[in-house]
Chain A
């Protein structure tokens, strides 16, 4: 699973630190790219803005997407990902504090592959992140490259 990359979309630096800590704690040493708002996420994925000219052969194995984000919110980001041929099949896991029915419905409606509520309890949170890492980096079969 070396070389495989996670794109973490998270505007809250505490949650970012906790997620990274949880991954490290479970020896998931893959590179984690952090995007702090919706616009930056799209810039990274499409090689635009601050990420113009990046190596576009490198794509994340999975996107961990928060819903409540500055500029573009998570659902909007998800719609743009699904609307573009380069990312339409990219695995996206919504990782959010919200358990509102409407958020869950919209998440699936606009093509999320999974929806996980961040547990408040850190032990549970660590476990959730560990399982997500293992599942998406090891067990999940990603869409074929070069399409």
Chain B
């Protein structure tokens, strides 16, 4: 008992009206940690009974509670001659100016915001207890009428009370603003970090494009030089080994190119515009036909499909989807590839469908992963990056992509934009 603060806290009683047991417990722990005695009531009614039984030094009440809410409870306390001197702190989110007026109307002394800032909460209680005597001396009961949002409120709180309530409101607002500024600073730091990471990624993909290609060119070039210059000194197996080295270097080159395209698809800026998907699909189909004129493929492309998106990215997506359809029908003497749109639950769903090799639905989830392949490279060549690229493009458009298929019964790829 060395300081007045110490004397004040010991034995002082605080009543908490709070319907959430976890929140009540949290508050109780904070207050008991400072030496207060704490009573908890689960709603206004219970709280009022508790106040009548034993008068606390301070009441801290939640607003939204069953049976009797915080405003009603506060009003009951303040209209009872025996109890009205007990300071009432209302716990609010302060999201509505109406809170302040209703708080004034019911005669509340202070506001505190959830979640609790321990330091601030305790300093508030200290302040209230310190001014308790002051408060008792002023007994002017002047009524003021306030109209707020079409509602009339009658406020009889004394001047000290009104000032306290408004100051506490203002303090809470300042506090919220500080928190917001801290968060804004954190956000700016995070953004800077992300930008740095992005830059690093860009320089990484630059290295990939430059540094990995150079040794690959050597492997490819010198294995071919060996085949050209020393063919007479190599037996069939030796030549076969060299052919494999050469082919592997070409596969790796394709992988590097696809990986770079994949990263480009993720990094580049998007320019949204109206894109004629039907025209795009026709161009792609024509190019494929030109590349393999002997193939019998019927391409059915619905006319007039226009979507909003990035033309370059959507072209890459359609190239991959229609290219896949072309590739996986290559074993059929006659094939059919279809591009169209349907409406599902009020949403445009675009699709590319073929009647080719299809896939086992059990592996449908693996289709869109990078390097995932469901067919042997000898059967259908590819790097396994095409559908991963498609997925990234569709996700960048905030759309979804999925597939349906059956082995030897074709595949259909659907996407939304």
Which of the candidate stretches A38-46, A81-89, A114-122 sits at the interface with the other chain?
A114-122
Shortest C-beta distance, A28 to chain B (Å), equals 17
Q: Does B92 sit within 8 A of A, measured CB to CB? A: no
Contact with B along A68-108 (1 / 0, CB 8 A): 10000000000000000000000000001111100000000
User: Main SS of the interface on chain A?
Assistant: loop
Question: B221 to A18, Cβ gap below 8 A?
Answer: yes
Q: Does A110 sit within 8 A of B, measured CB to CB? A: no
Question: B206 to A100, Cβ gap below 8 A?
Answer: yes
Question: B217 to A122, Cβ gap below 8 A?
Answer: yes
* Chain B residues in 8 Å Cβ range of A21: 221, 225
Query: When A98-B209, A100-B209 are in contact, do A122 and B224 touch as well, CB less than 8 Å?
Result: yes
* Chain A residues in 8 Å Cβ range of B308: none
Q: Does B210 sit within 8 A of A, measured CB to CB? A: yes
- Interface residue count on the A side (C-beta < 8 Å): 19
* Chain A residues in 8 Å Cβ range of B374: none
Q: Does A14 sit within 8 A of B, measured CB to CB? A: yes
Query: When A98-B206, A99-B209, A121-B253 are in contact, do A15 and B224 touch as well, CB less than 8 Å?
Result: no
Question: B206 to A97, Cβ gap below 8 A?
Answer: no
Q: Does B342 sit within 8 A of A, measured CB to CB? A: no
Q: Does B391 sit within 8 A of A, measured CB to CB? A: no
Residues 208 to 266 of chain B near chain A (Cβ within 8 Å): 209-211, 213-218, 220-222, 224-225, 249-250, 253, 260
User: What is the interface of chain A, defined by CB distance below 8 A to chain B?
Assistant: 12, 14-15, 18, 21, 67-68, 96-100, 118-123, 125
Pairs of residues from A and B, 9 with the lowest C-beta to C-beta distance, nearest first? A120-B253, A14-B218, A122-B221, A97-B213, A18-B221, A122-B224, A97-B210, A98-B210, A122-B220
19 contacts between A and B (CB under 8 A): A12-B214, A14-B215, A15-B214, A15-B217, A18-B217, A18-B222, A18-B225, A68-B210, A97-B214, A97-B217, A100-B206, A120-B213, A120-B250, A120-B253, A121-B250, A121-B253, A123-B224, A125-B220, A125-B221
